[in-house]
Structure 1
């Protein structure tokens, strides 16, 4: 119907819960972005997906088990949305990290890159961390 924008159908992927999957997560987002896409926006969305996936792998999956994480990417209501799900029971929380720590800044980065983010339980087990980045200026 003319004049009505049909929303994008979400894209989703499953990856092994291994740090080697993080570059594949970044590539999936790069490939899913509309072309052309401003380089800064592309970079920020890939960085955001990378941080969410790394946290899900490090803190949401059990070592030694054959587990996966799920990445979902879609546009709605003027935002690009990313959700990364893992089977873990623990919920992420924003922490302050001293300047000497080698980690612990993932959610600080997620908060800086996204307009909104939060955690939602999954129907079966685990949770999804969802972040939205406003689509403006192009």
Structure 2
């Protein structure tokens, strides 16, 4: 068999977690994501990904699950194309929308933070049900 001189680079295996749709999972998800980053990465990258994780997991729990069901929030983190990509998935049918909160509102700014921290983000439907919110942060953030 002839040798293939061109070999594709083996991609990194994504980090993957599932958490109960419970507010206590926000801290656990944030810690899991920051712990998965390589030693020596820029501190701002960890801070940005941690904040993105907190916002997206909180939104998924509040708006994408029902408290009466045993539902899970799914997270995937992977490096690609000069970015770390974070996908937070929930089973809910709603689609998050970027809106401006009133100055005296106590909430409604999560996606504004996602938009400000990420190079790109999108809401993608899942094959069976629900959606994923995917956001990318440059590897050399800061």
TM-score class, shorter: over 0.9
Q: Distance in 2 between matches of 1:64 and 1:48?
A: 26
- Normalising by structure 1, we get a TM-score of 0.94
Residue of 101, 104, 107 corresponding to 2:108: 104
1:116 is matched with 120
May I ask how many residue pairs the two structures share in their alignment?
138
Distance (Å, rounded) in 1 between the aligned partners of 2:55 and 2:112: 10
How far the C-alpha of 1:30 sits from its partner, in A, is 1.2
Runs of 4+, deviation exceeding 6 Å: none
User: Shift in Å at residue 5 of structure 1?
Assistant: 4.6
1:64-122 deviations in Å (ceiling 9; x for gaps): 11101000000011110000000000000001101110100000000000000001110
The structure with the largest alpha-carbon Rg is: 2
Tell me, what secondary structure is at the counterpart of 1:133? Answer: strand
Partner in structure 2 of residue 67 of structure 1: 71
Indicate the residue corresponding to 1:92 in structure 2.
96
1:9 aligns to 2:51 (yes or no) = no
Q: Which structure 1 residue ranges, 5 or more long, are not aligned?
A: none
RMSD (Å) for aligned C-alpha atoms: 1.9
Deviation at 1:7, TM superposition (A): 2.2
